[in-house]
Amino acid sequence: MPTQSERRRAAIVHVASIPGMAIGLGFVGPLIALRVLTRGSTFVRAHAVAAVNFNVTVGLVGLAGLIGTASLSRVGDDGGPDWAAGATVVLIVLLTVGWFLLTVRAAMAARYGEAYRYPVAAPFLRV
Protein backbone atom coordinates (compact mmCIF):
# COMPACT_ATOMS: atom_id res chain seq x y z
CA MET A 1 0.00 0.00 0.00
CA PRO A 2 1.49 3.36 -0.99
CA THR A 3 2.05 5.95 1.70
CA GLN A 4 0.11 9.20 1.94
CA SER A 5 3.09 11.09 0.52
CA GLU A 6 3.38 8.73 -2.46
CA ARG A 7 -0.31 9.01 -3.22
CA ARG A 8 -0.14 12.81 -3.09
CA ARG A 9 2.93 12.93 -5.35
CA ALA A 10 1.32 10.52 -7.84
CA ALA A 11 -1.81 12.71 -8.02
CA ILE A 12 0.36 15.81 -8.55
CA VAL A 13 2.06 14.08 -11.48
CA HIS A 14 -1.26 13.78 -13.33
CA VAL A 15 -2.45 17.29 -12.46
CA ALA A 16 0.90 18.74 -13.59
CA SER A 17 -0.19 18.26 -17.21
CA ILE A 18 -3.05 20.76 -16.98
CA PRO A 19 -1.03 24.03 -17.23
CA GLY A 20 1.09 22.70 -20.10
CA MET A 21 -1.89 21.50 -22.09
CA ALA A 22 -3.01 25.11 -22.56
CA ILE A 23 -0.16 25.45 -25.07
CA GLY A 24 -0.23 21.85 -26.30
CA LEU A 25 2.69 20.64 -24.20
CA GLY A 26 0.85 18.62 -21.58
CA PHE A 27 3.68 16.11 -21.30
CA VAL A 28 6.17 18.65 -19.91
CA GLY A 29 4.67 18.84 -16.41
CA PRO A 30 4.56 15.07 -15.87
CA LEU A 31 8.03 14.72 -17.38
CA ILE A 32 9.45 17.24 -14.91
CA ALA A 33 7.52 15.54 -12.10
CA LEU A 34 8.96 12.21 -13.21
CA ARG A 35 12.45 13.57 -12.64
CA VAL A 36 11.67 15.42 -9.40
CA LEU A 37 8.93 13.57 -7.50
CA THR A 38 9.64 9.86 -7.97
CA ARG A 39 12.42 9.52 -5.33
CA GLY A 40 12.61 5.74 -5.47
CA SER A 41 8.87 5.14 -5.34
CA THR A 42 7.71 2.64 -7.94
CA PHE A 43 4.09 3.74 -7.38
CA VAL A 44 4.83 7.38 -8.23
CA ARG A 45 7.09 6.37 -11.14
CA ALA A 46 4.37 4.16 -12.63
CA HIS A 47 1.87 7.02 -12.49
CA ALA A 48 4.40 9.50 -13.89
CA VAL A 49 5.29 7.24 -16.83
CA ALA A 50 1.59 6.67 -17.55
CA ALA A 51 0.92 10.42 -17.46
CA VAL A 52 3.82 11.21 -19.80
CA ASN A 53 2.82 8.48 -22.26
CA PHE A 54 -0.83 9.58 -22.28
CA ASN A 55 -0.05 13.27 -22.75
CA VAL A 56 2.44 12.60 -25.55
CA THR A 57 -0.18 10.41 -27.25
CA VAL A 58 -2.88 13.07 -26.92
CA GLY A 59 -0.51 15.74 -28.24
CA LEU A 60 0.41 13.65 -31.28
CA VAL A 61 -3.24 12.79 -32.02
CA GLY A 62 -4.16 16.48 -31.80
CA LEU A 63 -1.29 17.47 -34.06
CA ALA A 64 -2.17 14.78 -36.59
CA GLY A 65 -5.79 15.92 -36.54
CA LEU A 66 -4.83 19.53 -37.12
CA ILE A 67 -2.49 18.64 -39.97
CA GLY A 68 -5.05 16.31 -41.53
CA THR A 69 -7.91 18.78 -41.44
CA ALA A 70 -5.68 21.63 -42.57
CA SER A 71 -4.64 19.62 -45.60
CA LEU A 72 -8.30 19.02 -46.46
CA SER A 73 -9.41 22.62 -46.06
CA ARG A 74 -10.15 24.69 -49.11
CA VAL A 75 -7.64 27.08 -50.52
CA GLY A 76 -10.10 29.14 -52.51
CA ASP A 77 -13.32 30.56 -51.17
CA ASP A 78 -16.36 29.61 -53.20
CA GLY A 79 -18.85 30.72 -50.57
CA GLY A 80 -19.63 27.22 -49.30
CA PRO A 81 -19.07 25.96 -45.77
CA ASP A 82 -15.63 24.77 -44.85
CA TRP A 83 -16.28 21.37 -43.29
CA ALA A 84 -12.62 20.83 -42.42
CA ALA A 85 -12.62 23.81 -40.06
CA GLY A 86 -15.71 22.44 -38.34
CA ALA A 87 -14.14 19.00 -38.09
CA THR A 88 -11.05 20.53 -36.48
CA VAL A 89 -13.13 22.33 -33.87
CA VAL A 90 -15.07 19.16 -33.06
CA LEU A 91 -11.86 17.12 -32.87
CA ILE A 92 -10.16 19.58 -30.54
CA VAL A 93 -13.20 19.90 -28.26
CA LEU A 94 -13.67 16.12 -27.98
CA LEU A 95 -9.97 15.51 -27.47
CA THR A 96 -9.75 18.21 -24.79
CA VAL A 97 -12.80 17.00 -22.87
CA GLY A 98 -11.64 13.38 -23.03
CA TRP A 99 -8.12 14.35 -21.99
CA PHE A 100 -9.38 16.36 -19.03
CA LEU A 101 -11.77 13.66 -17.79
CA LEU A 102 -9.14 10.92 -18.05
CA THR A 103 -6.53 13.09 -16.34
CA VAL A 104 -8.88 13.81 -13.43
CA ARG A 105 -9.79 10.11 -13.18
CA ALA A 106 -6.10 9.16 -13.10
CA ALA A 107 -5.36 11.76 -10.40
CA MET A 108 -8.25 10.44 -8.31
CA ALA A 109 -7.04 6.86 -8.69
CA ALA A 110 -3.55 7.93 -7.61
CA ARG A 111 -4.96 9.78 -4.63
CA TYR A 112 -6.83 6.65 -3.53
CA GLY A 113 -3.68 4.55 -3.92
CA GLU A 114 -4.89 2.62 -6.95
CA ALA A 115 -2.90 1.69 -10.02
CA TYR A 116 -4.32 3.36 -13.14
CA ARG A 117 -3.86 2.63 -16.80
CA TYR A 118 -5.04 5.15 -19.37
CA PRO A 119 -7.28 3.52 -21.98
CA VAL A 120 -5.34 5.10 -24.85
CA ALA A 121 -1.61 5.67 -24.49
CA ALA A 122 1.32 4.68 -26.66
CA PRO A 123 4.20 3.20 -24.62
CA PHE A 124 6.92 5.81 -25.21
CA LEU A 125 8.41 5.33 -21.73
CA ARG A 126 8.50 2.15 -19.70
CA VAL A 127 8.21 1.75 -15.94
Q: Per-residue pLDDT for 80 more than 60? A: no
At 127, is the pLDDT very low, low, confident or very high (cuts 50, 70, 90)? confident
Q: Which long-range contacts (CB under 8 A, 24 or more apart) does 115-124 make?
A: 115/43, 115/46, 116/47, 116/50, 117/50, 118/50, 118/53, 118/54, 120/54, 120/57, 121/50, 121/53, 121/54, 121/57, 122/53, 122/56, 122/57, 122/60, 123/53, 124/52, 124/53, 124/56, 124/57
Over residues 97-109, the mean pLDDT reads 97
pLDDT class of 87 with cuts at 50, 70, 90: confident
Q: Where are the domains of the chain?
A: 4-111
What's the angle, vertex CA 63, arms to CA 57 and CA 67, rounded to 5? Answer: 145
Q: Is the pLDDT assigned to residue 77 strictly greater than 70?
A: no
**pLDDT given at position 81:** 62
Q: pLDDT, tens digit, for every residue of 28-58?
A: 999 999 999 888 899 999 999 999 999 999 9
Could you tell me which residue, 77 or 1, shows the higher pLDDT? 1
